[in-house]
Amino acid sequence: MTYPPPSDGWSDPAWSAQQPDPTLPASGPPISAAPVGKDPYAPVDPYAGAPGIPAQAAPVDPYAAAAAYPQPGYPQPMGYAGYGGYQPPPPQNGLAIASMIVSIIGAIGLCGYGLGGYIGLIGAILGHVARRQIRERGEGGAGFATAGIVVGWISTVIAVLATIAMVVFFVWLANQESTTGYGTSY
């Protein structure tokens, strides 16, 4: 490390001969010129200098060849074309979601003596209408509509069976003779 000369006016002739004058600029004006030499990022040719293979006359653009050959690794998803080629998924059909929700409410309604399952019929009908709309409009939500149809019809069938069972039970109960003694028998 070198130190500047002392400020008391004394200077070492050996030191000033080694160092440039500190009052002058460190370098001249900047020169704008094209870089000279080989591209430091260019791929290394493994066959350079091999006997029987001629050397390349001009530098090759490494990115031109990369576009022609697929790169190793994971393939790009089909239909991907950069930022401009991305297509968002189709919108969900609201009626399909409503069908599934109403059918689930109908299935939960089976807990009320099975009669709440009739709400599932509405969910199944909404599901059929939603599937038709999805086919015509190209919307998403076919799985919601199918779930609404299946759950709706199952809860409706269980509700019908529960209604039949209750009617049969009440008819049977009404035809029983009273054995409690409160009634009079003639």
Per residue in 37-74, pLDDT (tens digit) is: 677 777 777 666 666 666 555 566 666 655 555 566 66
Please give the model's pTM, rounded to 2 decimal places.
0.50
The partner residues of 140 in beta bridges, in order of sequence, read: 92
Mean pLDDT of 78-106: 83
pLDDT of 87: 79
pLDDT of 112: 83
Number of Cβ within a 10 Å radius of residue 133: 17
Amino acid found at 29: P
Mean pLDDT of 95-110: 95
**What percent of the chain is predicted at pLDDT more than 70?**
53
Q: Is the pLDDT of residue 122 over 90?
A: yes
112/12: higher pLDDT: 112
Report d(CA 150, CA 103) in Å as an integer: 8
159/71: higher pLDDT: 159
Nearest Cα to Cα of residue 102 among 47, 147, 160: 147
The partner residues of 92 in beta bridges, in order of sequence, read: 140
pLDDT of 79: 56
